[in-house]
Structure 1
Amino acid sequence: MVRIIFAIATILFGFVVNAQDLEKSLLWKISGNGLEKPSYLFGTMHAVCEINFDDNLKKALDETSQLYLEIDMDDPTLQTSMMKDMMMKDGVTLSSLMTEEEVKLVDDFLKANVNVSIKMVDKFKPFMISSMFIPKLLECPMQSIEMELVKNSKEQNEEVYGLEEISDQLAVFDKIPYKTQVEELIKTAKDNMVEGKAEFKKLMAIYDDQNIEGMLDVMKESDNKISSDFSDVLLNDRNANWIPIIERVSKEQPTFYGVGAGHLAGEKGVIKLLRKKGYTVEAVK
């Protein structure tokens, strides 16, 4: 009887430990499970006001010999490939998903904020149009952590790769109903980005606090249906696809992985998925 109680307690304790929130850290060390040298996993934010790589991050970059981002941002064909997959499928257009009043609202908003008319982007996936407003949400000169990582890799004569193709990334927005994406675009135009700016500011504060679990919580609780209702296609499915690549690549040579911080946290995040595969993934303080 004592053995049975002990076994149940062990199982329950293991579940509780596994379900605990992750530590506050953006940088994580991947080791064990047959790896000769450690690799590192870093949570990025795709648009920030300033970039400060601390000593731990610089050390991790020095100890690794190649860079993997979500996509290969050093690929010279990236822009051409991107243009092919920015359009909605089956001849769907923005204006076909809106009323006349909504078309005018969005058209005026686009002209005022990004200096384009709705006719110029009528075939674009709505989320791609929403991404044009990111510099406005920041309210500061936008900087890219990913491009800074690429710059560092070039200075060290290291190769840059992607965990997925740009076509894979943009295909995600064919899985989220275009109508839902359009509704979020209309909401942004109606309130002139007030809600978007507030949420972005909140995300940046949580990111600066290195609270990756908090970032995931904000996405889940967001009024933006794209973030809150489609975490599987935005995060979880992609995380699962990346794990075999991370395993293979890390066995070949020590690698620095830079992916959106939201991909790290949660039970289906990259950190816990790697732990379930037998790797030691620990926060670097």
Structure 2
Amino acid sequence: MKTYQRIRVTAVLLLGLILNVNAEPLWSNKQSGGDDWLLGTIHLGDDSLSTLPSSIKMAIDSVDIVIIETDLSRVSPSDQQRILMQYASLPAEVTLKQTLSEPVYKQAQQYFANYGVNIEQFSHFKPWLVALSMVQMSYAKLGLNAENGIDNQVQKYALQQGKKVVGLETYHQQINFFNQIIEQFPEVTNDDLILDTLSEIKHFSDLPQVMITAWHNGDMQVFEKIYRDTLGTSKFDAAAEQILLINRNHNWVSELEPVLNQQKVLVAVGTLHFVGDKGLPLLLKDKFELTAPNGY
């Protein structure tokens, strides 16, 4: 079961106010009299991300609450695995091979064979877990892991400093998002999911390093391009964008508004929530006095 224990929901910067140019994507509303910070994160990192920048630590030190996507410190590894199995298991009478066309199943089989993995170990799991496992394996090969992810480091540092840490979503909710893609968009097939994953692994093999470099530089234009390039080419892309980004952004705005008005807060969520015409900056524009220099 080790294949599944390390799988984390990857869904991808946040809302912003004042961008520190040539630095990590950290924003503040202090110039307009506020006391909140907003941080764009990367879920998986390499050694270059292994140390949390001092600017982020200072921001955490200055607030009362740190808000993240999911507070995994409240969910034990065994519970994470149990929840994952609950949502990712196929009905007892169904196998993975039956959920995919023969050509697509063979492509997935070959992908795993290249890593020395027998696809049969996924026989009783849904295709979206297979797709996440493919991505996880490709990222691990590049030396990326959740321990070096900015989300993980923010949470650890906040807890060490005695800050209150709040998750916007439960682990149950995050895992179930992948079921919703298929359930709410019947035009998207399991074949689409696997083929899209294989295509992105092949054609965007340099994407993790591009994102890490852009994060270090606070280069939001790169993230805008990534958003356009990876979420606008297929039916699956459109469905994933709606479930994993747009819907969550709207839900988060409702949760964040009263907290930001009443407390000193740092919010840290994945980078791609911060870009696009349905991104958090635009959704918050009418509710908060958001400003950003340099034309962004």
CA positional deviation for 1:187: 5.9
Code of the aligned partner of 1:275? K
Q: Which residue of 1 aligns with 2:112?
A: 110
CA positional deviation for 1:243: 0.9
Q: Which residue of 2 aligns with 1:14?
A: none
Alpha-carbon spacing, 1:32–1:279, altered in 2? closer, same or farther (3 Å): farther
The RMSD of aligned alpha carbons is 3.3
Superposed CA offset, 1:108-135 (max 9, x none): 422443x653333234343333233335
User: Are residues 1:53 and 2:52 paired?
Assistant: yes
Contact 1:221 1:228 (8 Å CA) reproduced? no
Superposed CA offset, 1:114-170 (max 9, x none): x65333323434333323333523612422211111210121122322111222223
User: Are residues 1:244 and 2:232 paired?
Assistant: no
Q: Which residue of 1 aligns with 2:88?
A: 86
Structure 2 length-normalised TM: 0.72
Contact 1:213 1:266 (8 Å CA) reproduced? no
Q: Which residue of 2 aligns with 1:258?
A: 268
Q: Which residue of 2 aligns with 1:280?
A: 290
User: SS of the counterpart of 1:85?
Assistant: helix
Structure 1 length-normalised TM: 0.75
- Report % sequence identity: 21
Code of the aligned partner of 1:199? L
Code of the aligned partner of 1:217? K
1:158 to 163, 168, 178: 163
Alpha-carbon spacing, 1:83–1:153, altered in 2? closer, same or farther (3 Å): farther
Alpha-carbon spacing, 1:99–1:237, altered in 2? closer, same or farther (3 Å): closer
Q: What residue ranges of structure 1 are gaps of 5+ in the alignment?
A: 1-21
2:225 to 204, 217, 227: 217
Q: Which residue of 1 aligns with 2:175?
A: 170
Contact 1:73 1:147 (8 Å CA) reproduced? no
User: 236-245 or 45-54: which moved more?
Assistant: 45-54
Please give the residue correspondences for 1:121-200 in structure 2 after superposition, counting only pairs within 5 Å. Answer: 121-132=122-133, 133-137=135-139, 139-142=142-145, 143-177=148-182, 180-186=189-195, 193-200=201-208
Q: Which residue of 2 aligns with 1:10?
A: none
Q: Which residue of 2 aligns with 1:38?
A: 35
| Mapped partners of 1:81, 1:265: distance in 2 | 30
Q: What residue ranges of structure 2 are gaps of 5+ in the alignment?
A: 1-17
CA positional deviation for 1:95: 1.5
Alpha-carbon spacing, 1:82–1:161, altered in 2? closer, same or farther (3 Å): farther
2:97 to 91, 95, 98: 95
